Amino acid sequence: MSNRVIIFDTTLRDGEQAPGFSMTLDQKRVMARQLERLGVDVIEAGFPIASDGDFESVKAIAEELRETTIAGLARTTRKDIDRAWEALKRARKPRIHTFVATSDIHLKHKLNKSREEVLEMAVENVRYAKSLCDDVEFSPEDAVRTDLEYLCLVIESVIDAGANVVNIPDSVGYSIPDEFAAIIRTLREKVKNIDRAVMSVHCHNDLGLGVANSLAAIQAGARQVECTINGIGERAGNASLEELVMIMHTRKNLLSLECNVQTTEIYPSSQLLTHLTGMKVQRNKAIVGENAFAHEAGIHQDGMIKHRQTYEIMTPQSVGIPESTLVLGKHSGRHALDKRYKELGYDLSREDLNTAYEAFTALADKKKLVYDADLIAIVRDEISQIPEAYTFESLQVLSGSSLTPTASVRLRKGDEIFEDSAIGDGPVDATYKAIERITGVCGKLTHYAIEAVTIGKDAQGEVLIKLEYEGHSYNGQAVSTDIIEASAKAYLSALNRILYTRDHVR
């Protein structure tokens, strides 16, 4: 058996459909290009039947990318498969990925169908997909809770019908490693034609075992693993691409596994995803978290000074994180700033670099040192992927223990300037009410958090918010040394997302 593991990335499908992670068509194209640079073998670009937006993004990615296989998801119906093929047909390497639930709990409560009916659906539609596309993958949803004898029958039948990849999903993150590995071994032993298909796995992280289950399945003979950048996905997410790849890379002597991923593109990919979605990973996230290569304890620092491997099992450079921080100040020029952004994974256009430089110099006048986190925050705050209907001009706030908090806000829309004032329960509340009066959009604030971007009393404050509007959730984030200003910009960021979605997406 080959020791090469195929990396199937579903960031743009399973990851993007999770609450808070939705992206526009242009954002998906940017992310897809980075995934191709990363070296993933397959990009699942979306679920074409789900919406016109999903269809267009799959179509655009399929037409643009030439090195990576592009997959589109479809249920086992002709309507879904036709829609997927319409989006994929201009791809150099297209794949139709079709699925149907097979566990008794899904058959009874979701599909209201018998095992025989589902088997017939699977076979008929895999055969139809194969008539359109040479590369067909089939997934029995909730495979882990499916009767094993029936699962073997389904897998054998769809391979006979033309599936060249069979994916065994732990759709609800229910399994544990030994159990999941046993399922994979049983399929390899009992499915007579299993040698005609690549066996894949797709593990969710509801019990925190997505990566562990995926690794156990690979050791049991699976040779494709479905995963996402930063482990994003439905509910608790999917198996994390960066963790799986670096396990194989770091423990190659034990596992003897390899893949095509360029590990130095892992951190840039993670950072790009957080920039596009506004959703940060936790500081202690393995491989890509802010603390992954940070050492504070004195014993650890002493060990690191004497020999790096005392406390680091891999180098930060191996995943694309620079070893040292380039300290930038107000006397640094554009070339130095551009160089640092490239090291951080951002290849800025001249226009975007100029925008970032103006924000950088303004920040450098306010604080002594500008750190990497400051630079990343500038990109997130100043260079938006969403066209801005309103831009921030100025803010004045009056507040105190014996005063009614009042805010006056000045916004620009095109060539027009709008100003309004409001009172509130506090300075932030007053600011938000003034913005609502100007824009005419009133969302429900469901999350508000402030974090220090870097260290020191002159650190920037990053404000992260969520607004609920017409049944949908929208993220906003912004940074400033003034947290009230950051709060205003974050709120405006979310409102611009609402306006863009309302006017261009729906």
pLDDT in tens, the chain (506 residues): 789 999 999 999 999 989 889 999 999 999 999 999 999 999 999 999 999 999 999 999 999 999 999 999 999 999 999 999 999 999 999 999 999 999 999 999 999 999 999 999 999 999 999 999 999 999 999 999 999 999 999 999 999 999 999 999 999 999 999 999 999 999 999 999 999 999 999 999 999 999 999 999 999 999 999 999 999 999 999 999 999 999 999 999 999 999 999 999 999 999 999 999 989 899 889 999 877 776 544 444 456 556 667 767 888 899 998 764 444 566 667 777 887 777 666 778 888 888 888 888 888 787 666 777 677 777 766 665 667 889 999 999 998 888 899 999 999 999 999 999 999 999 999 999 999 999 999 889 999 999 877 666 667 788 889 888 888 778 788 888 888 999 999 999 889 888 877 775 44
User: Which residue type, as a one-letter code, is found at position 482?
Assistant: D
Do 409 and 351 have their domain in common? no
The answer to the question of residue 246 being in a domain is yes
Length of the chain: 506
DSSP helix/strand/coil, 97 = strand
The pLDDT value given to residue 324: 40
The answer to the question of residue 307 being in a domain is no
Instruction: Please tell me the distance from the alpha carbon of residue 43 to that of residue 376, in angstroms, as a whole number.
Output: 26
Strand partners, 394: 410
Question: Cα dihedral sign for 444, 449, 453, 458?
Answer: positive
DSSP helix/strand/coil, 449 = strand
Structural domain containing residue 371: 325-382
By DSSP bridging, strand 136-141 and strand 69-75 are: unpaired
Do 438 and 403 have their domain in common? yes
User: Considering only CA atoms, which of 229, 209, 159, 208 is closest in space to residue 187?
Assistant: 159
DSSP helix/strand/coil, 105 = helix
Residue with tokens 């609920």: 468
The phi-psi region of residue 247 (left if phi > 0; otherwise alpha if psi is between -120 and 50; otherwise beta) is: alpha
Do 191 and 213 have their domain in common? yes
Contact status, residue 466 vs residue 481, Cβ threshold 8 Å: no
- Beta-carbon count within 10 A of 254 CB: 9
Q: Which of 277, 312, 339 is the endpoint of a domain?
A: 277
Instruction: Please tell me the distance from the alpha carbon of residue 341 to that of residue 321, in angstroms, as a whole number.
Output: 12
Instruction: Please tell me the distance from the alpha carbon of residue 313 to that of residue 375, in angstroms, as a whole number.
Output: 28
What φ, ψ does residue 342 adopt, rounded to 5°? -65, -40
The pLDDT value given to residue 73: 98
The answer to the question of residue 292 being in a domain is no
Q: Which of 277, 304, 334 is the endpoint of a domain?
A: 277
Do 172 and 130 have their domain in common? yes
Residue 171 CA from chain centroid, whole number: 18
User: Considering only CA atoms, which of 223, 314, 210, 308 is closest in space to residue 263?
Assistant: 314
Q: How far is CA 218 from CA 39, 48, 95, 242, in A?
A: 19, 29, 22, 16
Do 337 and 208 have their domain in common? no
Rg from Cα positions in the chain? 25
The pLDDT value given to residue 327: 45
The answer to the question of residue 310 being in a domain is no
Residue 309 CA from chain centroid, whole number: 30
- Beta-carbon count within 10 A of 470 CB: 9
Q: At what angle do helices 25-38 and 266-277 cross, to 10 degrees?
A: 170
Q: Which of 382, 411, 429 is the endpoint of a domain?
A: 382
Which class for 66: exposed (0-12), middle (13-18), buried (19 or more C-beta within 10 A)?
Answer: exposed
Strand partners, 138: 98, 166
Do 22 and 151 have their domain in common? yes
Instruction: Please tell me the distance from the alpha carbon of residue 410 to that of residue 85, in angstroms, as a whole number.
Output: 49
Residue 183 CA from chain centroid, whole number: 29
The answer to the question of residue 55 being in a domain is yes
Contact status, residue 286 vs residue 319, Cβ threshold 8 Å: no
The answer to the question of residue 117 being in a domain is yes
Please count the structural domains in the chain. 3
The answer to the question of residue 345 being in a domain is yes
CATH of the domain at 483: 3.30.160.270
CATH of the domain at 22: 3.20.20.70
User: Considering only CA atoms, which of 498, 153, 179, 192 is closest in space to residue 201?
Assistant: 179
The answer to the question of residue 470 being in a domain is yes
Do 120 and 268 have their domain in common? yes
Do 142 and 238 have their domain in common? yes
Residue with tokens 């971007």: 453
User: Which residue type, as a one-letter code, is found at position 433?
Assistant: K
For residue 324, give both structure tokens: 């040292």
